[in-house]
Structure 1
């Protein structure tokens, strides 16, 4: 059984988060859109010093005011540090509106204000907006392209072709970014799941065990219950591997995992922490209930058989604690597991295929009494 020193690196591993991906996404949206707004405003401000680009009079002042507004919004987003989905949609639509303002202020829109300027809000929409909001943005983009190009074309057919090409290009870019984002999110979710699972048995691993400590301790304090830890070590598993090969050993281990999964309660945590060692954590009302659960798990292991009818038994160490206010759940978890670990070794010494409780001398089992009689 691994000792406490070997578990130390896992204790220092930060919990990656079940978390709340939306918090990080909202911060990323705020910073990304702030950068896009600031970049667009600075690039657009160049037109203020280039002759012949802007209309004279109120149009020039409206254009300058729009650029300043974009910089002010960018600064406020950086200061705020987060942006909700509704605000993101509003700012993306504002980007479409700003393009119309620019078109009205430019002498030659086809030359200095092509619809490709809408690429910034299109990319932001594709990455940050949800499907309904993205669909709304794509419809607005199409309308804006038509409105912006309308004064430059006398033919409705020519206008339709140019507006259609521009809108399809922009909406296609937004759709591609959205699909890319969905793919990235799926890959990240799968990777996150794999970091919490044992690759052989599909059970949870030590990292997940640590992550669940806070939940179990908080629930036990709230409900006035106890937390129990059961350390299971498969008996003579090395002998099984040596005699029949690791393929048989893996099959038996998977059969045991399936039996235990069916036997544990839904709220319990079942994890493989290395080799043939497994841990079960759960909430119980008292030690007697924990003992009944441990016996049920022992019987479940004995029933599990791999290909060829090979099976094993398990020695189980049981420890129970009442969580105290203010204690570190992770440190308390490993103290409890260490106590159950010691009881498991005692179960081995007393004959295997049995449950030993930490701090409680083991009475002779009926099987032992039948053997001696």
Structure 2
């Protein structure tokens, strides 16, 4: 997971299929479909008790069975509270078929079964399905209108006009809802994306860093790896701003962000937490792997240049942790970042443009004739 937003289709923003969503919105969609099926069946059942609407004999029983089928189709939606893409597409086509059954059971379809009844499947397809499913349903809607209205018109011209008006209005309404849905989704995704991005560098921000902590902690516990936090602070950045202006400082930040984005691993999280400080979170197997990554980051910063030739170096602090069950990932994240921040200040004190770590203890030089090994750091919290 790199630290910069990458543009997608539809004007730079990916538009997800509404039927693929998970969570509360998905449950609401399934319950809404179930409710519409039940309400439609209840309203249609009224015709069973109105004289002169339904044909006598088998059509009446077929009509009653169709209304019952609507209720049966609603039960899995209400119980499971989820509707897959293909499930929803099947319900849309079922709605088209049910309209045809109703037409054949009604004495006067033009009066009691107008094509407006197809609004339900048309609007469901527009709001919950993808482009090609919507196009398929638009074709099916036109065919269904033709079949339903055929017996009621002797003139081909009159039939064509009525089919064109009915199917055209239904498809135009469905297309308008689909365009509105795409627009709303684009705006929501743009808002969500901007809430996770630093506007100057395009890197992720503190909010995104916090949101990714539970995922990293779960993966580390599952894989038996460690979470590494690397805090980078640009050296003498204030001096650069004072000497060349804030525009030069902003250009340096953007150049550094580009270099770091190209250097971090795809699964790492790179974020700007404020000012000239950046944080990289990633999973590592041992301290040496973290040190190698930090050194690559340090080299990437020192090699970055603006168009005007301005450059900076970075002091980097590293801290590692082994996540344990039951701990709060957000609290653990900031404890880890605080340790990495302390290590970063150690790198500043050692001369800047270098990497310092929390797990390597500083030891005095051995006395003449003394053979003393450097003690290992504890493996419990910070390794």
What TM bracket, shorter-length normalisation?
0.7 to 0.9
CA deviation digits over 1:217-240, x for unaligned, max 9?
A: 444445544332111112232333
User: Which residue matches 1:283?
Assistant: 283
Residues 1:95 and 1:296: Cα distance change in structure 2 (over 3 Å): closer
Give the whole-Å Cα distance in 1 for the aligned partners of 2:110 and 2:20.
Answer: 42
User: Which residue matches 1:240?
Assistant: 240
Cα deviation, residue 330, structure 1: 3.3
Does 1:200 find its partner at 2:203? no
Does 1:186 find its partner at 2:167? no
Cα deviation, residue 83, structure 1: 1.5
Give the whole-Å Cα distance in 2 for the aligned partners of 1:197 and 1:36.
Answer: 39
User: Which residue matches 2:21?
Assistant: 22
Give the whole-Å Cα distance in 2 for the aligned partners of 1:126 and 1:90.
Answer: 14
- Aligned length in residues: 345
State whether residues 248 and 307 of structure 1, in contact with CA within 8 Å, keep that contact through their aligned partners in structure 2.
Answer: no
Does 1:135 find its partner at 2:135? yes
Give the whole-Å Cα distance in 1 for the aligned partners of 2:114 and 2:223.
Answer: 64
State whether residues 217 and 323 of structure 2, in contact with CA within 8 Å, keep that contact through their aligned partners in structure 1.
Answer: yes
CA deviation digits over 1:309-358, x for unaligned, max 9?
A: 33322222111233345544433322211111111122233333332221
Q: Which runs of 5+ in 2 are unaligned?
A: 1-18, 365-383
Give the whole-Å Cα distance in 2 for the aligned partners of 1:89 and 1:280.
Answer: 43
User: Which residue matches 2:53?
Assistant: 53
Give the whole-Å Cα distance in 2 for the aligned partners of 1:176 and 1:116.
Answer: 16
State whether residues 20 and 84 of structure 2, in contact with CA within 8 Å, keep that contact through their aligned partners in structure 1.
Answer: no
Give the whole-Å Cα distance in 2 for the aligned partners of 1:33 and 1:84.
Answer: 12
Give the whole-Å Cα distance in 1 for the aligned partners of 2:169 and 2:69.
Answer: 28
TM-score (structure 1 length as normaliser): 0.81
Give the whole-Å Cα distance in 1 for the aligned partners of 2:292 and 2:53.
Answer: 84
Cα deviation, residue 202, structure 1: 1.0
User: Which residue matches 1:156?
Assistant: 156
Give the whole-Å Cα distance in 2 for the aligned partners of 1:73 and 1:266.
Answer: 44
State whether residues 269 and 281 of structure 1, in contact with CA within 8 Å, keep that contact through their aligned partners in structure 2.
Answer: yes
TM-score (structure 2 length as normaliser): 0.79
Give the whole-Å Cα distance in 2 for the aligned partners of 1:79 and 1:222.
Answer: 32
CA deviation digits over 1:247-279, x for unaligned, max 9?
A: 221111111112222332333221111111101
**Bigger relative contact order, structure 1 or 2, given CA contacts below 8 A and separation 6+?**
2
CA deviation digits over 1:273-293, x for unaligned, max 9?
A: 111110112233332332233
Give the whole-Å Cα distance in 2 for the aligned partners of 1:132 and 1:55.
Answer: 37
SS in structure 1 of the partner of residue 21 of structure 2: helix
SS in structure 1 of the partner of residue 316 of structure 2: strand
CA deviation digits over 1:140-193, x for unaligned, max 9?
A: 222221221122111223222212322222223223323333333333333333
After TM superposition, the structure 1 stretch with the greater mean CA deviation from structure 2, 350-359 or 268-277, is 350-359
CA deviation digits over 1:88-122, x for unaligned, max 9?
A: 22222221222222222323221222111111111
Give the whole-Å Cα distance in 2 for the aligned partners of 1:54 and 1:283.
Answer: 68
User: Which residue matches 2:367?
Assistant: none
State whether residues 270 and 281 of structure 2, in contact with CA within 8 Å, keep that contact through their aligned partners in structure 1.
Answer: yes
Q: Greater helix share, 1 or 2?
A: 1
Residues 1:263 and 1:130: Cα distance change in structure 2 (over 3 Å): closer
Residues 1:137 and 1:195: Cα distance change in structure 2 (over 3 Å): same
User: Which residue matches 1:174?
Assistant: 174
State whether residues 318 and 358 of structure 1, in contact with CA within 8 Å, keep that contact through their aligned partners in structure 2.
Answer: yes
User: Which residue matches 1:111?
Assistant: 111
Give the whole-Å Cα distance in 1 for the aligned partners of 2:125 and 2:335.
Answer: 50
User: Which residue matches 1:337?
Assistant: 337
Give the whole-Å Cα distance in 2 for the aligned partners of 1:341 and 1:285.
Answer: 21
State whether residues 20 and 85 of structure 2, in contact with CA within 8 Å, keep that contact through their aligned partners in structure 1.
Answer: no
State whether residues 294 and 316 of structure 1, in contact with CA within 8 Å, keep that contact through their aligned partners in structure 2.
Answer: yes
State whether residues 45 and 67 of structure 1, in contact with CA within 8 Å, keep that contact through their aligned partners in structure 2.
Answer: yes
Q: Which runs of 5+ in 1 are unaligned?
A: 1-19, 365-373
SS in structure 2 of the partner of residue 261 of structure 1: helix
Give the whole-Å Cα distance in 1 for the aligned partners of 2:80 and 2:295.
Answer: 56
User: Which residue matches 2:85?
Assistant: 85
State whether residues 252 and 307 of structure 1, in contact with CA within 8 Å, keep that contact through their aligned partners in structure 2.
Answer: no
Residues 1:72 and 1:325: Cα distance change in structure 2 (over 3 Å): closer
Residues 1:77 and 1:292: Cα distance change in structure 2 (over 3 Å): closer
